[in-house]
Amino acid sequence: MADFGDDDVKPLFSKTHTLGLKLLALALLSLTLMFVDQRANNLQLLRSALLGEDSAARDVRVFMDRLEHDDYKNAPELNSVHCPECGAPLTHDEVWLKRGNTGYYTRSECPYCGHWYVRFKLSRRDGLHWSFARCTEPATREADARWEKHRAAFVERLRRKKEREQA
């Protein structure tokens, strides 16, 4: 009768064991690579959703995986923007307007260089975390005309809503 002592079983076990560990490590590595790849892909998608054909955008930044939708206007690390020209802090208008389904923008002022538009694009790919892409664009006459028109409409809607609430 064959008698398998410890010496016979151990090498067999440890070979299988090593193979298992290698496979596990390989699986983990590909998962990590997939995750990194997906993250880079999401980042790229968000950037292009923000910029589109726009070549005037400056100071493009991405903030990934945050919990609050309103971070673009409340969190200083997203909301504090410096002038792309001279580096002075910009002062935002108190109104943020919607742009498209998942974008917001405001008009901001540099004390030295004049006006800029700060734009955000939001994305929530995993259903839980918000990612934001941000850029700063020089104000143009067309952009200012559009801003004035939409801002006036927004303020008027807000005024009517308040009136209804008080009635």
Q: Does 91 bind Zn ion (CB under 5 A)?
A: no
Of 50 and 110, CB closest to Zn ion: 110
Q: Does 155 bind Zn ion (CB under 5 A)?
A: no
Q: Given its phi and psi angles, is residue 73 left (phi above 0), alpha (psi -120 to 50 degrees) or beta?
A: alpha
Coil vs helix vs strand at 99: coil
Q: Does 89 bind Zn ion (CB under 5 A)?
A: no
Of 110 and 133, CB closest to Zn ion: 110
Where do we find the tokens 């802090």? 89
Q: Locate the DSSP E strands across the chain.
A: 58-66, 91-92, 97-98, 103-110, 114-123, 130-138
Q: Does 83 bind Zn ion (CB under 5 A)?
A: yes
HSE at residue 48, side-chain half, CA atoms within 13 A, is 5
Q: Looking at 41-49, 56-64, 75-83, 120-128, which segment touches Zn ion (CB under 5 A)?
A: 75-83
> CA-CA distance, 138 to 49, in Å (whole number)?
19
Considering only residues 45, 51, 113, 143, which one is a binding residue for Zn ion as defined by CB under 5 A? Answer: 113
Q: Looking at 43-51, 69-77, 81-89, 142-150, which segment touches Zn ion (CB under 5 A)?
A: 81-89
Of 52 and 87, CB closest to Zn ion: 87
Question: Which residues of this chain interact with Zn ion, rule CB under 5 A?
Answer: 83, 85-86, 88, 110, 112-113
